[in-house]
Structure 1
Amino acid sequence: MSAPFKELEAKYHKMWQEEKKRYNQIANLRLVVLILAGYMTYLVIKSPKQLLWIIGAGASFAIFFYLLYKHQKIKDQMDYYESMENVNKKYSMRMTKEWHGFRDRGDEFEIDSHPYALDLDIVGPQSLFQKINTTHTWHGRKLLAESLLENHFTEEIIGERQKAIKELLNDLDFCQKVEGITSRRKKGIEEPKKLLEYATDTENFIEERWLKALIKGLPYPLIILVVLSFITPYSWIKTLTTVLIIATYGLVVFYMPRISKVKEILMSMLYDLQEYVGILDVIKDKEFNSSYLKEQTECLFKDEQNALNCLKELEHISNLAHITYQPIVAILLNGLMVWDLQVILKAENWRKKYGASIESYLKAIGEVESLISLSVIGHIESDVHFPLVSMEGQYIEAQVLGHPLIEQQVRVCNDVQLRDEIFVITGSNMSGKTTFMRTLGISLILAYSGAPVVAKNLKCSKMNLATSMRIRDDLSHGISTFYAELTRIKEIIEAGKDKGKQCFLIDEIFRGTNSGDRIIGSISVVKALSKYGSIGAITTHDMELCKLGEEKGVSNYHFEEQYGEDTIKFDYKLRKGHSTTTNAKYLMKMVGIEVIE
């Protein structure tokens, strides 16, 4: 299935090579024109009255600067093709374990106390976020993480999000273009906190209308005076010009502390704004059918005062602010044109026009990015299904359900019918118990976000999800593994009691204590969870717990293995009933540990 991505990768590499040839040709041409311009300049200096040399020198420099502009445009196109090549390379990598090396893992979204994120590999190393994330804006990353971690969408919204993601599944080119525009930079777009604070600030930089008019009108007489001071012999004009330039520069210096704060915001956003504008250039030409995506684009392009104009205007202002980055240029432009104050006044006008809308624009862009990421599984998997999610009942019914983080070639899928009951799952070590529970959990999270799942069919109800799998001790606070597990399971029981519908997944319950206490404790937990109406699964090696299968609302399931002379083979298939085998002795022998009986 990776073939289409390999073909696209090769296509963009070829396009990059063609642009590279043009780039080198123009580089050589630029050098020739620069030498010619230098020679023409020499002739002008030697014979200043020769009009032909003056025209030749001017034309040569004009051609040189045009080639400079053209060269940069080709470089931008090369960067885009290289980015698109890498985008397709990453899609291919997602179909193997190579995606484990992706830099953006969403580590900052990890919370130890989260009810399921750590156990189900939602964010962090080798996580769902790491595999599917194609976002590069701050809001895009945040919204993707929230959709996977907060489980807050209603049945209606899930349905609308599914329609949006289905539409994106049918337009890989659009999805990749949005990613390609932003992935040219190795570093993602940072949180626009300072920009948003400035945009919503109601304090005006300059209140006085006369001063604003003075700043806007001052450059014109100044430039006229400068020209006159060169072409007239009157010394008083030169004196007046000098005094006015000093006074003008002094005005800028007076406001410099406040100017610096605004310029810092504008200059820090410059390269980010280029990415936002690039995304909007792609989105504006796309006509969506799903109401959820239409809602986002209507927010972005509802009138002339739209997101594209907003961000292009801000990008232009940021470029103007960047011009005075060099001290000598700053002195000249501020002395002659009150440059920095002109820029600040433009920023003030921009804020009055767009300040109240900028955050909604950035969120809408992020939401489109987030939905594109959730479509990734559909692009890289051959068999996916959009689940039917209901607010009624407590159930999970699936056919050929697989784990999206396991390679397709080695993945084993299972059917499951879990309705108003608790599974007690037994089986030998490495037989597939934990992977099965993680498959259930991560599939529910994808279903609740509106994304497709790896399955032939999945129907489920909307439930709170809680897990207890990767329990860790905390020596700094004197908390043992067993105590940490007790605390976690208590939270699961209380959540089932207080919050209503819940699906829980508990792996190797009470592994940190002796078998007698473990059995008593495990039976108590299962009965408590059943009493409060929670559904879910518990894995255990204690066959005594299988007696719970005789009670209403509890069912036994197991995984099994086959033994060879020196091998153990697992089929990772879920079966009804309890396990009848153990494999600890065989595993010990396989790794070379002598079993003494």
Structure 2
Amino acid sequence: MSFIADKQTLEDLNLLGRFKPNSIYNLFCKIKTTGGDRLLERMFQQPLIDPAAINKRSATFRYFQERQLSFPFTNERFKLAENYLIMGGGTGLSVILKKKLNAFLNDDAYEKLRNGLAAAIDVLLAFRTFLQQLTDFADANAWRKILSQLSWLDNAHDLSIMTVARYDRQLRHTLRAEMETLLEGIYQLDVYIAVSDVARQRGFHYATALPAFPAMFHSTALRHPALNAGISNPVALSEESNVIFLTGANMAGKSTLMKSIGIAVYLAHMGFPVAAADMKFSVRDGLYSSINVPDNLNLGYSHFYAEVLRVKQVAAEVAAGKNLLVIFDELFKGTNVKDAYDATLAVTAAFARYHHCFFIISTHIIEVGHALASNPSLQFCYLPTLLEGTIPRYTYKLEEGITNDRHGMTIIENERILALLEG
């Protein structure tokens, strides 16, 4: 079983994509090796759901962050060694034949092999030295054991044709599987160092994963990881209070806050550092969001119908017993105010009964909040707008209650839209 996060959710939260602006993947992708890049991508695509495995990975990142280690290989030298080691292994005889071809036919195959071997030796020596800094890192023991079989590394200065043949056979034939293990170890170190460097530079923290029950989420200061000067807010959910009903004006920060919570939960299930202090969470089966639901003209779906289908999809998963975090940003904004009021009221009340799940629901229809005020499962929060004269200012600080802000016409007047139309 794996953590659930569908395409819509991944796009809503901008989680994946090396070249997507401000994607969370791009935020962490300071990787030096192609193998490390592949490993990072796998981690993003396969969040964990076992608390022990999550906490173990978090502890590993914390370990490297505390030691502030640098990746010990240059890109060019490592790439040459990597290409050499992953090529099919030859025999001593084939090396001698390449040497003869090099001498008589001006073939450069032997020189390429020799240069690749020399780069591999440099990388293995650097790796062995680097591992001296990881004396208390359990995973390093297997790597040290492999390197101990290469006693000739310290004396591999004179690469004559016979030593090239012997070393080449050992690295790319006899110990081929072991060399693959070492490369995988280097890719892991690449990810550990890169991700922990990002955590240190951006002031991220490490969450603690707990069993699925009792369901809980807690952070004293949560913000969006892609914002350098993002405002932090306390957020807490429990089985008794499993719905955050969020109100506030446009531009007050509702969508950013909701995305921040979703991203923190997703990264925490990866065992990655999060932009959330003192975070503890019970593991979830998955995460669903409805923030930027597109219409589908090819299927004849209006925006409203697409919203309805999205809510139906999530409702089926919740009713099936999945332990989920669900984020709905402005439910049913694709229909008229009366229908949106009735639908938001009914759906929010229905979801609130599923205490094994957490829901964050935002709306501009503040009357829904007043109608739900007696429901003990809901906590009412808003992001305020302050008017300084006629200029709105947004604090981005979460407050308890339901907003009374109605400044839409003020903003329209500030932009002089009506004056433009009046000529």
- 1:357-506 map, 5 Å: 357-382=178-203, 384-391=204-211, 392-408=213-229, 411-420=230-239, 421-463=242-284, 464-475=286-297, 478-498=300-320, 500-506=322-328
Q: How far apart are the structure 1 equivalents of 2:270 and 2:246?
A: 28
1:580 aligns with 2:404: yes
Change (3 A) 1:183 1:442: farther
Structure 2 residue identity aligned to 1:572:
Y
Structure 1 residue identity aligned to 2:399:
R
Change (3 A) 1:570 1:279: farther
Q: Which residue among 11, 16, 36 is the counterpart of 1:118?
A: 11
1:589 aligns with 2:416: no
Q: Which residue among 276, 281, 286 is the counterpart of 2:133?
A: 286
Question: Structure 1 vs Structure 2: percent identity of aligned residues?
Answer: 22
Change (3 A) 1:146 1:288: farther
Q: Which residue among 336, 358, 362 is the counterpart of 1:535?
A: 358
- Displacement of 1:513 in angstroms is 2.2
1:23-66: CA deviation from partner (whole Å, max 9, x where unpaired): xxxxxxxxxxxxxxxxxxxxxxxxxxxxxxxxxxxxxxxxxxxx
Larger Rg: 1
8 Å contact 1:399–1:415 — kept in the other structure?
Answer: yes
1:542-577: CA deviation from partner (whole Å, max 9, x where unpaired): 123212342242232211111122310111111222
Give 3-state SS (helix, strand or coil) of 1:378's partner: helix
- Displacement of 1:473 in angstroms is 3.5
- Displacement of 1:268 in angstroms is 12
1:198-248: CA deviation from partner (whole Å, max 9, x where unpaired): 57xxxxx89xxxxx87x788899xx9xxxxxxxxxxxxxxxxxxxxx9xx9
Structure 2 residue identity aligned to 1:129:
Y
- Displacement of 1:368 in angstroms is 1.8
- 1:33-112 map, 5 Å: none
8 Å contact 1:508–1:540 — kept in the other structure?
Answer: yes
Tell me which of the two structures has the higher relative contact order, counting C-alpha pairs closer than 8 angstroms and 6 or more residues apart.
Answer: 2
Q: How far apart are the structure 1 equivalents of 2:243 and 2:324?
A: 11
8 Å contact 1:429–1:583 — kept in the other structure?
Answer: no
8 Å contact 1:473–1:484 — kept in the other structure?
Answer: yes
Give 3-state SS (helix, strand or coil) of 1:116's partner: helix
Change (3 A) 1:137 1:542: same
- 1:155-234 map, 5 Å: 155-172=51-68, 174=69, 176-178=70-72, 181-182=73-74, 198=88
Q: How far apart are the structure 2 equivalents of 1:385 and 1:272?
A: 37
Structure 1 residue identity aligned to 2:142:
C
Give the structure with the larger helix fraction: 1
- Displacement of 1:478 in angstroms is 4.8
Superposition TM-score, scaled by structure 1 size: 0.57
Equivalence for 1:570: 394
Q: How far apart are the structure 2 equivalents of 1:266 and 1:512?
A: 64
8 Å contact 2:96–2:165 — kept in the other structure?
Answer: no
1:121-153: CA deviation from partner (whole Å, max 9, x where unpaired): 222321222223221222312322333342215
8 Å contact 1:117–1:149 — kept in the other structure?
Answer: no
1:156-188: CA deviation from partner (whole Å, max 9, x where unpaired): 12222232222222222x2x344xx34569xx9
Change (3 A) 1:580 1:268: farther
Change (3 A) 1:218 1:407: closer
Q: How far apart are the structure 1 equivalents of 2:115 and 2:291?
A: 43
8 Å contact 2:46–2:270 — kept in the other structure?
Answer: no
Give 3-state SS (helix, strand or coil) of 1:581's partner: coil
- Displacement of 1:469 in angstroms is 1.4
Change (3 A) 1:562 1:182: same
Q: Which runs of 5+ in 1 are unaligned?
A: 1-111, 200-204, 207-211, 224-244, 321-336
1:554 aligns with 2:375: no
8 Å contact 2:65–2:196 — kept in the other structure?
Answer: yes
- Displacement of 1:585 in angstroms is 1.1
Q: How far apart are the structure 1 equivalents of 2:113 and 2:353?
A: 59
1:338-363: CA deviation from partner (whole Å, max 9, x where unpaired): x9xx9999866644312333443332
Structure 1 residue identity aligned to 2:267:
L
Change (3 A) 1:216 1:575: closer
Structure 2 residue identity aligned to 1:442:
I
Q: How far apart are the structure 2 equivalents of 1:271 and 1:489?
A: 60
Structure 2 residue identity aligned to 1:298:
N
Structure 2 residue identity aligned to 1:284:
L
- Displacement of 1:475 in angstroms is 4.3
Q: How far apart are the structure 2 equivalents of 1:277 and 1:488?
A: 52
8 Å contact 2:52–2:209 — kept in the other structure?
Answer: no
Q: Which runs of 5+ in 2 are unaligned?
A: none
- Displacement of 1:117 in angstroms is 2.4
8 Å contact 1:182–1:275 — kept in the other structure?
Answer: no
8 Å contact 1:122–1:149 — kept in the other structure?
Answer: no
Structure 2 residue identity aligned to 1:538:
I
Equivalence for 1:65: none
Give the structure with the larger strand fraction: 2
Give 3-state SS (helix, strand or coil) of 1:135's partner: coil
Equivalence for 1:66: none
Superposition TM-score, scaled by structure 2 size: 0.78
Structure 2 residue identity aligned to 1:515:
V
- Displacement of 1:430 in angstroms is 0.8
Change (3 A) 1:438 1:217: closer
Equivalence for 1:231: none
- Displacement of 1:407 in angstroms is 1.5
1:144 aligns with 2:37: no
- Displacement of 1:422 in angstroms is 0.9
Equivalence for 1:514: 336
Change (3 A) 1:343 1:147: same
Equivalence for 1:525: 347
Q: How far apart are the structure 2 equivalents of 1:219 and 1:563?
A: 79
